Structure 1
């Protein structure tokens, strides 16, 4: 979520809630035994007059604890930033010698050094983070991508000063899996409009699920919208699944020997990476704790911290790609082409927005299926609420959709989706925001809504470099401290960098284009589907498991009164006590 959001004007307080039991609750102390010498350090006392020790270590909250806690409305950014950071990346790289990949003349890739306990390191980079870096250093998004690749994998990057000279074997673009999400998302919406709706499919209107701040908010405060959420994984999550399933199958290694970091514009992506649904337990079907598909998430700001920690001057890094000869191919040739054939894909038309273009692509798909169809745009109460109508050549309404960005607008959306409750008063009208019998939501009959927590979209994520950050203000010493207007102007520069891709980016790989290619976003649905089918066949895992996920309501205990006995039992259970 954006750093410009605050608890003063929004309902998304981003810190541990009052029900966060991890740092504040302890069991009652034990009564002193007769013999002090015989006292066990593990005995429990019920003498509440005994003061607790004063030398206890600081309490730690893991990401899983934060996700399971029901006291926070959205992700606690202050906690998350200390749990997944550039320091964790350096610690992972310096944990031991990495696995060595060997590429023979037959094109096969094998692993050497398994007995040394090393890992394979991979990084995926979002286009919003590249845009933030591009605006900061005055380069194009494509050049920023090459600079990031040089930092993570190149000879002048972080490995030059590392203990074991470990670096990231591959640096991939999450736009690859974004394309797959767009194609699968369009299918999901088109199926919802047809009469052949499958069991378990989301209910109209389908709401995007790629924003983890929005997902956390829905799960903890508005479970009535969960049936509407798209079941698709986000591009970050889908990339993590693709990398770990393919490498573990092709190289015959455990998923925990593959370490994947994602560079994202948003702190909330750290929370997404910690979800139990996004581990190998989901696609292996083990039901165990599982290894994360994305081991760590760092933001655009933290990427620069990573460079500073290794004393690398990011500005001086080469703005050219690494030599092809130095790159070992991905173990599967078809997926290697899918991941690397188009370096730093374009981000489409500016009308698609800076959050991946989910809604834009679906509107274009619907219009393309009806000759002469047009898309009508209607602005809502502010710039972050936009309604779209696809009309046929005869003027018939084919589909209605909308875009809702920012929590103020999201709150209005979820109220309109809340089903009505029957009044307890005899003859009373239905109660609720919908105020319609039968529990139907009020307002336009949307088929699809693109929902993002950050006003302005993902280029305005909380982890992006802001106009008042030292890397920016250090160049303008003596000037007035930047305000909201300067931040708005800065965001416009980031958006401009986001759409700065060259026209030749796609023509470099004409083989992936066909008659069905959408030239506005350069996506070939048939190529995407064929590649995904190959992935499922190669791994032996059904695509429904690989590409889709699930959500669940988180029940809050805030405001509930419970007795002391129940509270002790509850606390003991949470810390593993046998009560």
Structure 2
């Protein structure tokens, strides 16, 4: 799916406005107002009437049908692209520290000019926007492999492109750029701690045995059932909602780092600093196209966290646009910028705008990185491995056992102490493996025969049955749609594109080299993974300019003990930060950090009603009959 998808590869493209498989109900066309209401419409007159327009599809409609995922992604690729980013930058001027206006230090509020804008609108009537970008580590790893640099240097180059003096603003119509470029790894640390707590709470409350409320299996206020399944991969979530709704009670309610970043920025700036969510524009730079699907979800909008939300209010997305590593390079080329020539050093302190809340500034922009993760953690954020490490820290003397499954993308983990198994978990990457997973989670059907046994499943041999039960024994399963994990996302630079990218960047390649094949692609992915795991906390990997080191290092040097540190993350400090976020916005942590999932209904693939059956049904609904 996403691992091989690009806009040029699609052959089932459904552009907006053309006929769609989304089912719609249509009533017989009403006659014109000047006709007799009691006149019988003959067949000749009915044929002369205009047929209804074809159903059109939008971003949210793509999630409301059961069409193939590639068609949905095709629409999202066309509507969320680097062109959209450049167009928005050229249309809207950047808001510069507008919160300072409320203190009377940079412009004047209450109707006076602020940074050349009148209440966020310049003299030409164009609304100013506060531009924010978030960058995933997988994207940085892809670019690092292309240009033979470290992952940290690739991140610095991205920041220079988005916010630096020689970046996008140098050639833009408005001179707009991004006020902040946020590393999603800092948000992921909050996700990791919350994920570990979610598993612990679910197991301790024995929620896996609690019955689900019909229609609310994926509600935000419910505790997921074991085995808890990762929800950070939108391709997997879309697949589950459309085809296997019985897994919804198992999905983690936790938002992804992309969604969490958007929620943080927009909730804090709107609730604390009076910047409307519509004036905050968040672009996420992610490894796959499915993240465009995630950004379009109605559950990830201001309606989910805005206090006293009115249904008449416009829903503002937490993430306005998603682009990928390949699109970043296209965006630089469109501006005439040689990406390879961008500085590989962090922005100077003079070019950096502090986040208005000092505590959040220290959290979002640390001076140094957390030490590199182990390759055992995987290339998709390390959710599973952090949970295992949390249980290991809580059980002294235990260790993590690893056992490979039927292929490299199925791995089983256990936290054991002697002969005692404390917790079991697994990793399932790739749709072929995911299909095996959801098949084993499918509830058994009760026998219709009197005295028949419930839950009898025919599988060849006892091993198949044992494998099915083994899945249900897991406490947590890390599920990702792409084989190999997120570094293999569809938006990453492919091996066949490297030569072209490097040539543009001024790196000469041997044109006599043979065209790369599957073997070369596999070797290329290994190089991307190497870059992903290369991040460290050395002085060379400083991610910001000079600043208040004591304040900004406080995120890891709190008063918590050594047993509170799991994989370099202080659980106490992270929970204090979450509580601070909730306090300054006045929004509960549940609304800020968690979301919900829904079963998608569709008539696609089902038996079609005849025209007579459909009209009869409509007549009964309207109170009539034959």
- Which residue pairs with 1:94 in the alignment? 90
- Which residue pairs with 1:233 in the alignment? 255
Cα deviation for residue 78 of structure 1 reads 2.0
- Which residue pairs with 1:450 in the alignment? 478
- Which residue pairs with 1:422 in the alignment? 446
Q: For 1:555, which of 601, 604, 612 is the aligned residue?
A: 601
Q: For 2:146, which of 117, 120, 136 is the aligned residue?
A: 136
8 Å Cα contact 2:235-2:290 kept in structure 1: yes
8 Å Cα contact 1:418-1:432 kept in structure 2: no
Q: Do structure 1's residue 212 and structure 2's residue 234 form an aligned pair?
A: yes
Q: For 1:323, which of 341, 348, 352 is the aligned residue?
A: 348
TM-score by length of structure 1 reads: 0.86
8 Å Cα contact 1:124-1:172 kept in structure 2: yes
1:138 and 1:46 map into 2 onto residues whose CA distance is 71
- Which residue pairs with 2:492 in the alignment? 464
1:300 and 1:46 map into 2 onto residues whose CA distance is 56
1:516 and 1:215 map into 2 onto residues whose CA distance is 36
1:408-455 deviation line (CA, Å, top 9, x unaligned): 00011111111101121334343575999xxx9622410000000000
- Which residue pairs with 2:156 in the alignment? 146
Q: What secondary structure does 1:277 align onto? A: coil
1:100-135 deviation line (CA, Å, top 9, x unaligned): 226869997886422332110000000000001100
- Which residue pairs with 2:271 in the alignment? 249
Q: Do structure 1's residue 521 and structure 2's residue 548 form an aligned pair?
A: no
Cα deviation for residue 222 of structure 1 reads 0.5
Q: For residues 46 and 67 of structure 1, do their structure 2 counterparts lie closer, same or farther at Cα, with a shift above 3 Å needed?
A: farther
TM-score by length of structure 2 reads: 0.80
Q: Do structure 1's residue 262 and structure 2's residue 278 form an aligned pair?
A: no
Any unmatched runs of 5+ in structure 1? 7-11, 36-44, 572-579
Cα deviation for residue 503 of structure 1 reads 3.4
8 Å Cα contact 1:28-1:46 kept in structure 2: no
Q: What secondary structure does 2:439 align onto? A: helix
8 Å Cα contact 2:482-2:489 kept in structure 1: yes
8 Å Cα contact 1:467-1:473 kept in structure 2: no
Q: What aligned pairs does 1:159-198 form with structure 2 within 5 A after superposition?
A: 159-195=169-205
8 Å Cα contact 2:369-2:536 kept in structure 1: no
2:294 and 2:447 map into 1 onto residues whose CA distance is 38
Q: Do structure 1's residue 355 and structure 2's residue 380 form an aligned pair?
A: yes
Q: Do structure 1's residue 115 and structure 2's residue 121 form an aligned pair?
A: yes
Answer with 232-241 or 197-206: which moved more.
197-206
Q: What aligned pairs does 1:395-406 form with structure 2 within 5 A after superposition?
A: 395-406=419-430
- Which residue pairs with 1:365 in the alignment? 390
8 Å Cα contact 2:429-2:485 kept in structure 1: yes
2:601 and 2:445 map into 1 onto residues whose CA distance is 20
Q: For residues 102 and 546 of structure 1, do their structure 2 counterparts lie closer, same or farther at Cα, with a shift above 3 Å needed?
A: closer
Cα deviation for residue 72 of structure 1 reads 3.1
8 Å Cα contact 2:196-2:387 kept in structure 1: yes
Q: For residues 248 and 279 of structure 1, do their structure 2 counterparts lie closer, same or farther at Cα, with a shift above 3 Å needed?
A: same
1:310-332 deviation line (CA, Å, top 9, x unaligned): 11110100001111122121111
- Which residue pairs with 1:280 in the alignment? 302
- Which residue pairs with 1:20 in the alignment? 20
Cα deviation for residue 94 of structure 1 reads 1.3
In angstroms, what is the RMSD of aligned CA positions? Answer: 3.6
Cα deviation for residue 261 of structure 1 reads 0.2
Q: For 2:78, which of 82, 102, 111 is the aligned residue?
A: 82
8 Å Cα contact 1:146-1:318 kept in structure 2: yes
Cα deviation for residue 345 of structure 1 reads 4.8
1:337 and 1:70 map into 2 onto residues whose CA distance is 44
**Number of residue pairs matched?**
550
1:432 and 1:359 map into 2 onto residues whose CA distance is 31
Cα deviation for residue 375 of structure 1 reads 1.2
1:476 and 1:128 map into 2 onto residues whose CA distance is 27
Cα deviation for residue 250 of structure 1 reads 2.9
